[in-house]
Amino acid sequence: MKENNSIGIVKPKIFKCTSPIKLSCGKTLDNYELIYETYGKLNKNKDNAVLVCHALTGNQHVAGRHKKIDKYPGWWDSLVGPGKPLNTNKFFVIGINNLGGNEGSTGPKSINPKTKKIWGADFPIITVEDWVKTQKTLINYLGIDKLSSVIGGSLGGMQALEWNIQFPYEVNNTVVIAAAPNLTAQNIAFNQVARQSIITDPDFQKGNFYASKNKPKRGLRIARMLGHITYLSNDVMGSKFGRKTKNKEYQFNFDTEFEIESYLNYQGDKFANEFDANTYIRMTKALDYYDPTKKNKKKLSEVFKKIKSKFLVISFTSDWRFSSSRSKEIVKGLLDNNINVSYAEISAESGHDAFLMSDNHYHEIIKSFFNRIFKS
């Protein structure tokens, strides 16, 4: 793979927060740790900070490599780096592994300080609102009062939106990509199937599997396979795999026959070895629960009343999990409040995953928006 202008070797850092956080679920964490990475330099005025919020299975490792030999760079390396659309020569970019995450931030795998045992099933469900609160604490710890921008796709886009609801005065620009103001019933349904596949895996052991040598890999594997199907479009699956088979003749057994099966198996296995089941089911819950209109039963345009930042909203034509019509709801809420907003509906065949792709037009849009920010 050709990679120009990568940020190079990066090192994750730890933020230890000793002040307690009251979570949406009612529980309190007395202290917690967040793993984060930064790219580029914070300027003198401390006004060039951009927070990148990650999606369901993402993490703080947005760009660059931890080791030279790492096979893959960070998950948004195509977008973030020197001279890239989100240019680290101009902006100070921050990636945070969310609370409850898989990369070392305090989560289900961590030790519960009260019991001195692994949290496991007892780890609380963290919401988008909680994440934004903890992100804000970390941003302030870095000496930043106000973000130049917050950007995120999918669940990350929900966090970017939530920043504007909780801290309207602390963010100047917002990029919301392939997101929605809340999930549809169909979306929640997919999440439920994913969760059920994990919870009903006998190896899940009600979430307390850490001491056991059996991990709920079967459940995670199926959850990931399902996810992958829904993140792609029928068209892109057709053009990538079609009905291609491994062998010329059918084998008439249940081994991998079609290439799409092989792809799903590979993705499922890879994920099941890397990702924590407790984190996964909690992250999908955060998606399901997010709904800024629920509190006080307000309309989106009322919820957006205090927003000050300038918005860029992007959707992709083939994304059926977070369809364009959902992004348009966000745009309408912003327009109703006279908020500066640009909206692009990008023709892309990759489905929901398009937000991670390196489409030229898509990257040109992000680049132009950040150029505007840099100039002003």
Partner 1 sequence: MKKFNQNSRYDFSIIENWTHPNSKVLDLGCGDGALLNYLKEKKDIKGFGIEKNKENWLLSLKNNIDVIQMDLESGLAGFETNSFDLVILSRTIQSMKNIEEIIHEMMRVGKEVVITFPNFGYWRNRLQILQGNMPVSEELPYKWFETPNIHLCTIQDFDNLCQKNKIKIEQRLILTDKKSVNFYPNFFGALALYKLISK
Q: Check if 203 is active-site.
A: no
368 touching partner 1, by CB under 8 A: yes
359 touching partner 1, by CB under 8 A: no
Give the alpha-carbon dihedral of 42, 167, 137, 127, to 10 degrees.
-130
344 touching partner 1, by CB under 8 A: yes
d(CA 255, CA 262): 9
Q: Which stretch binds partner 1 (CB under 8 A): 24-32, 95-103, 151-159, 363-371?
A: 363-371
Q: Which stretch binds partner 1 (CB under 8 A): 6-14, 145-153, 210-218, 325-333?
A: 325-333
175 touching partner 1, by CB under 8 A: no
Of 146 and 328, the one with the shorter C-beta distance to partner 1 is 328
Give DSSP secondary structure letters for 93-133. Answer: EEEEPPTT-SSSSSSTTSEETTTTEE-GGGSPPP-HHHHHH
How many residues touch partner 1 under the rule CB under 8 A: the total is 22
28 touching partner 1, by CB under 8 A: no
d(CA 184, CA 181): 10
Q: Within 10 A of 87 (CB to CB), how many other CB atoms are there?
A: 20
Of the candidates 39, 77, 40, the residue with the CA atom closest to the CA atom of residue 58: 77
Q: Least distance in Å: CB of 338 to partner 1?
A: 7
Q: Which stretch binds partner 1 (CB under 8 A): 39-47, 246-254, 280-288, 335-343?
A: 335-343
Rg (CA), the chain: 21
Q: Check if 66 is active-site.
A: no
DSSP 8-class letter at 171: E
Q: Check if 352 is active-site.
A: yes
Q: Please identify which of the residues 154, 309, 315, 350 carries the catalytic annotation.
A: 154
Of the candidates 165, 193, 160, the residue with the CA atom closest to the CA atom of residue 179: 160
Q: Least distance in Å: CB of 301 to partner 1?
A: 8
358 touching partner 1, by CB under 8 A: no
Binding mask 207-236 for partner 1 (x = CB under 8 A): ------------------------------
Q: Please identify which of the residues 276, 319, 323, 324 carries the catalytic annotation.
A: 319
**Token pair for 335:** 């327009």
357 touching partner 1, by CB under 8 A: no
Give DSSP secondary structure letters for 1-20. Answer: ----S---B---EEEEE-S-
d(CA 330, CA 318): 18
Q: Please identify which of the residues 201, 276, 352, 353 carries the catalytic annotation.
A: 352
Residues of this chain that bind partner 1 (CB under 8 A): 310, 328, 331-332, 335-336, 338, 340-347, 361, 364-365, 368-369, 371-372
